Amino acid sequence: METKYVVIVQCDIAHKRCSGFACTNAFYNKDDVFAGYEDSVRYISFTCGGCCGKGIASKLEHLSKRLKSKNDIGKDDVVVHLSSCIVTDNYHYDRCPHADYIKSIVVKKGFRNIIEGSYISKGATKKRAEGIYHCYE
């Protein structure tokens, strides 16, 4: 598989107060979970659509149609990152109670390349080590 697109799905609630800068910056700097991507890989982000995350289905459907018709990019060429604000205990909130449901929708829509996580701050890492934040790994 050659990754051509990375999709970062952010929590809709967290996105109301978070610009997504840290996740975008981590992608372009190839930090942590983004380290293996080539410079030619494109990036897009959107939210889950709000609780319970069911809105992700239509967004992924729209994306897959656009990628196929405009760029001949298939679902196997896409890696979906469920952002850290969804899958970890962090500054915004604890892990999303719908994270597994959102992941199941992504799979049902045919996207098999899923990674949990995007940007993790040093402060959050420290708080996990201290037991302040829960660790779900």
Please provide the DSSP assignment of 68-91 as one string.
HHHH---GGGEEEEEPHHHHS--S
Residue 35 lies in a domain: yes
Sign of the alpha-carbon torsion through 69, 52, 50, 23: negative
Token pair 């045919």 is found at 110
Give Cα 29 to chain centroid, integer Å: 16
Residue 86 pLDDT: 95
Residue 112 lies in a domain: yes
Residue 122 pLDDT: 87
Token pair, residue 88, equals 């970890």
User: For residue 137, what pLDDT band results from cuts at 50, 70 and 90?
Assistant: low
Q: Residue 36's domain spans which residues?
A: 5-129
Residue 56 lies in a domain: yes
Residue 101 lies in a domain: yes
Residue 135 lies in a domain: no
Which amino acid appears at position 120 of this protein? I
Residue 42 pLDDT: 96
Residue 136 lies in a domain: no
Which amino acid appears at position 99 of this protein? A
Q: What is the pTM of this model?
A: 0.92
Residue 1 pLDDT: 67
For the chain, what is the domain count? 1
Residue 137 lies in a domain: no
pLDDT in tens, 31-54: 999 999 999 999 999 999 999 999
Q: What are phi and psi of 81, to 5 degrees?
A: -100, 120
Which amino acid appears at position 18 of this protein? C
Residue 82 lies in a domain: yes
